[in-house]
Amino acid sequence: PQPKSAKRPLPRERDGSNVSVKMAAAELSAVYRAMQKSAARFSNYNVREYFKRRVREEFEKNANLVGEEAAAALAKAKKDLAVIDRQVQVYSLYGSELRSVLEITKKP
């Protein structure tokens, strides 16, 4: 078995190039970062951490997908990004102003 730090070779197109794979990886990375940033905008600690954890788990679960399955997972991630953005807006309007115990800091 290969050590975990060893990189797997990128799949190649029929002509031997992996340009589209690099573009897809860049797009996937951008969607992941955007989802994490959107999740971090929730004011409530519990909701924020829940969404950050769910995003991370979904991307880890779909890490080994290829082809049409990967494209479908990317499309779903983009839809989920829009949902998270909408939920951030709704939660900012109707969410509680109380902070979690984990967020409260001691005042000197």
Instruction: Give DSSP secondary structure letters for 44-94.
Output: SHHHHHHHHHHHHHHHHHTTT--THHHHHHHHHHHHHHHHHHHHHHHHHHH
Query: 53 is written with which tokens?
Result: 């954890």
State the pLDDT at residue 67: 81
State the pLDDT at residue 66: 81
The model carries a pTM of: 0.68
* Residues 74 and 24 sit within 8 Å (Cβ to Cβ): yes
State the pLDDT at residue 17: 46
What confidence tens digit (pLDDT) does each residue in 28-81 have? 889 999 999 999 999 888 889 999 999 999 999 988 888 888 888 889 999 999
